[in-house]
Amino acid sequence: MLIQLTVNGETIAVEAPPDITLLDLLRDYLNLTGTKEGCAVGECGACSVIMDGRLVNSCLVLAPQADGSEIVTIEGIHAPDGGPNDLQQNFIDYGAVQCGICIPGMIMAGEALLMHNPHPTRQEIRMALAGNLCRCTGYQQIVDAIEATAKQRQGEMG
Ligand X SMILES: Cc1cc2nc3c(=O)[nH]c(=O)nc-3n(C[C@H](O)[C@H](O)[C@H](O)COP(=O)(O)OP(=O)(O)OC[C@H]3O[C@@H](n4cnc5c(N)ncnc54)[C@H](O)[C@@H]3O)c2cc1C
- Find the binding residues for another protein in span 87-116 (CB under 8 A): 87-89, 91-95, 97-104, 107, 109, 111-112
Using Cβ positions, the residue closest to ligand X within the complex turns out to be 42
Nearest residue (CB) to ligand FES, 78 versus 135: 135
Smallest gap from Cβ 123 to another protein, in A, equals 8
Smallest gap from Cβ 41 to ligand X, in A, equals 6
Q: Rounded to an integer, what distance in angstroms lies between the CA atom of residue 26 and that of residue 58?
A: 9
Check residue 125 and give left, alpha or beta (phi > 0: left; psi -120 to 50: alpha): alpha
Is residue 74 a contact residue for ligand FES (CB under 6 A)?
A: no
Is residue 154 a contact residue for another protein (CB under 8 A)?
A: no
Number of residues in contact with another protein under rule CB under 8 A:
102
**What is the SS3 assignment for 56?**
strand
Is residue 134 a contact residue for ligand FES (CB under 6 A)?
A: yes
Identity of the amino acid at 112: A
Helix residue spans in the chain (DSSP H): 22-24, 86-93, 103-116, 122-128, 140-157
Instruction: Pick from 42, 70, 137, 152 the residue near ligand X by CB under 6 A.
Output: 42
Q: Which residues contact 110 (CB under 8 A, 6 or more apart)?
A: 87, 125, 128, 129, 142, 145, 146, 149
Given the rule CB under 6 A, which residues bind ligand FES?
A: 37-40, 42-47, 57, 59, 97-103, 134-137
